[in-house]
Chains A and B, each alone.
Chain A
């Protein structure tokens, strides 16, 4: 059935456009049709054929369906660029929407909805109204989706014309396909509407569950996805729903299966009978396993979802670990995900077999996969105490193969194993030392040095080993330098003989005078002072007991996990991020502003002198505060005679190059109370409130601890999970012992770019806090983007213009804030300036005020801001241009919060 359309691509002569124009106006039908095909071919290869608009539209009135479709396609593409001419097509559209042939009626409505031109949209309403009540289900199903299209272009129109009611009526349509599309449209509209548009009652639920049996596979997915939001009233209703959904697990379409699993998991939360739950778990296992026979891309989505499911309900697949063993021909992305699940399912019962697999993988050729396999062995050792020894012996076998990257990876994980089981497996140190000279990666080197320092007393030639690293001290990466410093100090404290004494001199000298790295310098100074004033205190600090670690990497916070499980099968479950983190729906209808800007900025130039007095009253003292921030970092070590009871947090994570920056006795932070993140009810009496704040150019985590429990709490420590900004603690958490009924507040200095999580940006900050009396508390916080805006973000006007021009248009993102009113330009600018968003220029456009501002986030990433609003009238529009447009949603969220309050 092969065609010969490729000939239409080949007419690339010089006078192409005039030639086409002539052919489009030919009196012969066939010639016109061929010409339209040529136009579409040209459009397909990206040529601009918009100049032929009138001629193509003239071919629209035809009996030939194929030709009509092509003209419609042309219209979808070019109507936006020729909005005035597009009106020419309206008559034909309206006529076609009443054609006796349902195929043409549907085509007309479908196409009109795709043309995002206001003038066309106005004329769409009447045909749409008719088509929603058409006799033919094919037309109705198309019209249902068209309501969602119209809502996207003009939400008010949809509400005013009563289309929402009509759409709701379609839920009771007798045709399953119409029902499914109506559900999809309503669900989408609900997503973008603040009003309750689509509320699922138990009545609609039952109707939709019936429709489920009859619609196409895609329709079933729409319905299941929409229904998964339904909360059953009680366990009985939940059981009934589940009963009606379980047959879907047998569907050949994997998406139907996954959406059914989502719905069952949601309802299971309500089911109290353990028998029913156990039974459901048993029922879900085989379909989940079968997903692994699907196409690799589907397998990938399934595996990402299974990863979530086993975190919530480990029993479902507890006995199925073998199906996650990697096949030789699995694509790498499938293998990596399988490995992750194997670690999660590893138990004392199956560990032998799992280790055998990991060992097999560790000898494959794909370096990343091999590394991950080695790391997996380490993680199993940390997770399963009884299997640790077997894991170590496998690691030692792997080290013997002497493949460079395997050895390095093995040493990194063995370091963690030593941390987990102190004083248990040190006998293998000798073997590790043999591979010393093969190490060339910073993390491996740092790990090895940590091991030498930690066990200096058991390694006879520890001093020689360390000395061999010292020669190259200045060239080493920071991570290695920090470890060398600490290890040498440990060595000296454990063996205060002549050799180490000399070494420590060299190291301290190198790490203070010879270095530019403040982290290293600060740490060295602390050690130096400690050693010179009170060596016993130094021992207490440096050689203190370390807290036991556990393998909680890749373990999600329970509340996040629940949110992700409610999103099974969607992108959110693939990314393991909540939808807000990556959904960036920008309205496309307002993209015409770009052109205005060039002349707009000129007016801004000429007008701004008038504004000059104002701008000088409000700028923040950016230069002085920057200076202060710099000073503080240097001055801090002197101030911190670290109290002896502070455990050795320096070694908490090897890659956490934390400098101790202590703040003078934390003053109670003024201002509004901090948001409560860990309520006393969940924290067994401990309540934690916290918020990120920016003070003098530095980011702090302002925290308040309230002890409402019956016992004194002490030994507080904090750790942050990987996050978008790489926020991590810049020092130990300084909270004194908390007697029952007392509270303490502190400012924890934060550092950036430490443990950055990949993937789309998110404001999520997950925090773990522990103390000596209670279990570890996990809670999450939403980072306000404002704290990253630097004091030196002000731009020269010329720089602003150049930067704006140099950034491509795709870097521009805009958003409307319908609820925000700007009452006074000055007040708004003051408020923005207080958050380090600096005024550049303003202009007036009709009755609108247009403001230009700039700000900067760490690593010097600028944000160029354009705010448009009419004084006193709700509705504000903000457009930003930045090299990091992925941060735009975070920016808008922060801006909205700032201006709303």
Chain B
């Protein structure tokens, strides 16, 4: 079962090798390049788009980021999940170093790229991908010091994500609770699937090695403590923690305790698969008058309490690709025709709860059509929005205790926001 990558390639958009690191000497760059360019050429074939490809005894796994492909090659039965995830982490490391990962930034920094490839993977085994700590001992020219660096303790410590000796004048923690609502409504108006994916995003500016403890209104915990669940306690379906959280401790008594990394990270994500009422409901009626004109009537309704307000609402309505001459009126907000996406985009800056707005649009259609019309791309209506100070799940941060041996007081700031994730209504 053991297995590791033979080599890691960074390729340009045409599949040519930009930089590569050979870890095992059993896959050549020419071989990989040949296979990959072949793959890019036959783009239309769905089989060729699989991220795991077998060719000539070698398995290639790749991801794309901007105009760069990252790819591993292997001759063994290696852990596919781990290597693919590792590639995504490599992207994060490069982004931390060069702000953006693209062909140019790789060329401009090839020396550091080689250094990093040497450090993050050894003999094809992923080693270390904490960008923040890596940058303590692998530096770009601008930050390079002439003193010889040593590996930071954190690289091999149990706390591998945080270095010691961090100092802040003012100790602060920002905690954002962000919930994305995913919803799929089918063409007869039925909610096929809905779930909420939440994330606790943290930014920490704390000195030393702070010990943190987070309390949520988690039903399992509150009941275990024998507390009357006054107010709302919630059931979280699946919780995923950043590696800093002690999982065994959580399993034991549901306490979320951790030493946080410095800066921003996702402390935890969770999922709720309860049926949620669509926060913004959109109905659209399309009428085709004669062959050359169509009329669209769209109603958007906010289905949350009046005291909340959705902001930056964007409703993307699909229109036929051959529609022209739009004539649009809205009762609120503005709308633009985006022919490049075959869509009409209706933007409403502020949408209070319990309101309903309308849009009417008229398009001209060509009067001549193909005899056997091809099926049209049936895009769903897609909605984007944000509702600040509101969560669907009702999750609440009850406390965030921060204890450091120097005994400083730290200020936690908590914010809540709900936004649309994959919000699709197949209505037209």
List residues of chain A with CB under 8 Å of any chain B CB: 1-6, 8-9, 37, 40-41, 44, 46, 63-66, 69-70, 73, 76-77, 80, 101-104, 106-107, 110, 113-114, 116, 136-138, 141-142, 145-146, 148-149, 152, 175-178, 181, 184, 187-188, 190-191, 213-218, 221-222, 225-226, 228-229, 244, 246-248, 250-255, 257-259, 286-287, 289-290, 293-298, 300-302, 305, 322-323, 325, 327-329, 331-333, 336, 353, 356-357, 360, 363-366, 368-369, 401-403, 566-567, 569-575, 579, 582-586, 588, 758-760, 810, 813, 885-886, 888-889
Q: Is B285 an interface residue (CB 8 A)?
A: no
**Which residues from B are CB-within-8-Å of A366?**
46
By a CB distance below 8 angstroms, the chain B residues around A289 are 237-238, 271, 273
Which residues from B are CB-within-8-Å of A178? 156
Nearest Cβ on chain A to B344's Cβ, whole angstroms: 17
- The verdict on A325 contacting B193 (CB below 8 Å), with A106-B151, A570-B1 known, is yes
B114 touches A70 (CB 8 A): yes
Interface presence of B394 (CB below 8 A): no
Residue pair B118, A69 in contact (C-beta under 8 Å):
yes
Cα separation A289 to B197 with both chains bound (whole Å): 12
Question: B58 an interface residue at 8 Å Cβ cutoff?
Answer: yes
B378 close to chain A: CB less than 8 A: yes
B239 close to chain A: CB less than 8 A: yes
Least distance between B205 CB and chain A CB atoms (Å): 21
Check B187 against A360 for contact (C-beta < 8 Å). yes
The smallest beta-carbon distance between A230 and chain B, in angstroms, is 12
Given the complex, which residues of A lie within 8 Å of B54, measured CB to CB?
575, 582, 759-760
Listed from nearest, the 7 A-B pairs whose CB atoms lie closest are: A286-B238, A584-B57, A255-B82, A187-B2, A247-B247, A579-B77, A137-B156
Q: How far is the CB of B150 from chain A (nearest CB, A)?
A: 6
Docked CA distance A888–B81 (Å): 27
- Asked if A322 and B193 sit within 8 Å, CB to CB, the answer is yes
Stretch at the interface among B139-147, B213-221, B292-300, B357-365: B139-147
- Bound-state CA distance A218–B107 (Å) is 28
Interchain CA distance A675-B380 in the complex, whole Å: 58
- When the two chains form the complex, which single residue of A66, A187, A251, A252 contacts B144, counting CB atoms closer than 8 Å? A66
| Cα-based distance from A70 to B382 in the complex (angstroms) | 50
Asked if residues A325 and B184 are in contact (CB atoms below 8 Å), the reply is yes
A229 with B156: CB separation less than 8 A: no
> Does the CB pair B186–A360 fall under 8 Å?
yes
With contacts A247-B251, A583-B76 taken as known, whether A222 is within 8 angstroms of B125 at the C-beta atoms is: yes
Known interface pairs A177-B160, A191-B3, A215-B158; 5 further A-B residue pairs with C-beta atoms within 8 A, sorted by A's residue number: A69-B114, A136-B156, A295-B88, A323-B273, A365-B375
Neighbouring A residues of B193 by C-beta, 8 Å: 322-323, 325
Contact at B248–A70, with CB atoms within 8 Å? no
Min CB distance A280 to B, Å, is 14
Specify which of A1, A327, A336 is in contact with B140 (CB 8 Å cutoff): A1
B148 at interface by CB-CB < 8 Å = yes
Residue B404 interfacial (CB < 8 Å): no
Q: How far is the CA of A9 from the CA of B52 in the complex (A)?
A: 32
- Distance, CA A69 to CA B116, complexed state (A): 11
Please name 28 pairs of A and B residues whose Cβ atoms are closer than 8 Å in the assembled complex, sorted by A: A3-B112, A6-B104, A6-B107, A6-B108, A37-B111, A77-B22, A103-B150, A110-B118, A141-B127, A145-B123, A148-B123, A218-B129, A226-B1, A247-B248, A251-B241, A259-B81, A293-B197, A295-B63, A297-B63, A322-B193, A328-B379, A331-B49, A403-B375, A572-B77, A583-B77, A584-B57, A585-B75, A885-B56
Mask, B75-113, CB within 8 Å of A = 1, is 111111110111110000000011100001101111110
Residues from chain A with Cβ under 8 Å of B243 in the complex: 216-217, 251-253
Q: How many residues of B contact A (CB 8 A)?
A: 116
Chain B stretch 262-292: residues in CB contact (< 8 A) with chain A? 266, 268-269, 271, 273
Asked whether, in the complex, the Cβ of B158 is within 8 Å of the Cβ of A357, the reply is no
- Establish whether residues A70 and B111, one from each chain, have CB atoms under 8 Å apart when the complex forms: yes
Cα distance A813–B75 when bound, in Å? Answer: 13
Contact status of A184 and B125, CB under 8 A, knowing A1-B99, A567-B1: yes
Contact A327 B3 (CB under 8 A): no
Q: Which residues of A contact B160 (CB under 8 A)?
A: 177, 216
- The docked-state distance in angstroms from the alpha carbon of A571 to that of B61 is 10
The answer to whether A2 touches B105, judged by C-beta atoms less than 8 angstroms apart, is yes
Cα–Cα, bound, A368→B87 (Å):
29
Within the complex, the shortest CB–CB distance from B135 to chain A, in Å, comes to 8
Residue of A nearest to B270 (CB): A290
List the B side residues contacting A217 at CB < 8 Å: 243
Task: State whether A76 and B137 are in contact (beta carbons under 8 Å apart), knowing that A4-B108, A332-B46, A579-B77 are contacts in the complex.
Answer: no
Residues in chain B near residue A184, CB distance under 8 A = 2, 4, 125
Cβ–Cβ contact A225 & B79, under 8 A: yes
Beyond A247-B248, A357-B192, A575-B54, whether A102 also contacts B151 by CB under 8 A is yes
Q: How many angstroms from the CA of A715 to the CA of B394 in the assembled complex?
A: 65
Residues of B within 8 A of A69 (CB): 114-115, 118
A221-B82, A246-B251, A364-B377 known; A76+B22 contact, CB < 8 A: yes
Q: How far is the CA of A713 from the CA of B52 in the complex (A)?
A: 46
